[in-house]
Amino acid sequence: MPTSIMTIKSKLDSHLGDSLTVVARAGRKKVTKRRGILKNTFPAVFVVDLDQDSNNFEHVSYSYTDLLTKNITLKFDDAVQ
C-alpha cells in the first residue's frame, strides 16, 4: 500500500490514459461509483475524465490525500490500485 503522496502520484503517473472506476464514500452508507479515464496528475490533485453516458459532468478531480486516507479507491481495468 502506498504510504506517501509522492508514491501515490508516481503510481498514478504510470496509469495515465487508463480506464478506471472511482469508488467514493459520499456519507453514511452512501457510495458513488464513477467510470472514466485518468487524464492528468498535478502536484496536489489528479483529474478523471468521466464517461458521459452515466455522468452529468465531464471531469472530476480528487486529492492524493483522498487515496491516502481511503476516502476513495481506484480500480483500474487491468489491476486494483
Residues 6+ apart with CB under 8 A from 7: none
Amino acid at 76: F
pTM for the whole thing?
0.84
pLDDT value at position 63?
Answer: 95
pLDDT value at position 24?
Answer: 93
Amino acid at 59: H
pLDDT value at position 44?
Answer: 93
Q: Which domains does the chain have, with CATH numbers?
A: 5-76 (2.30.30.100)
User: What are the grid coordinates assigned to 25, written together?
Assistant: 464514500
Collect the ranges in the chain with pLDDT lower than 50: 1, 80-81
β-pair type (72-76, 19-27): antiparallel
pLDDT digits (tens, 9 = 90+) for 52-72: 877 778 999 999 999 999 999
Amino acid at 1: M
Contact 46, 67 (CB under 8 A): no
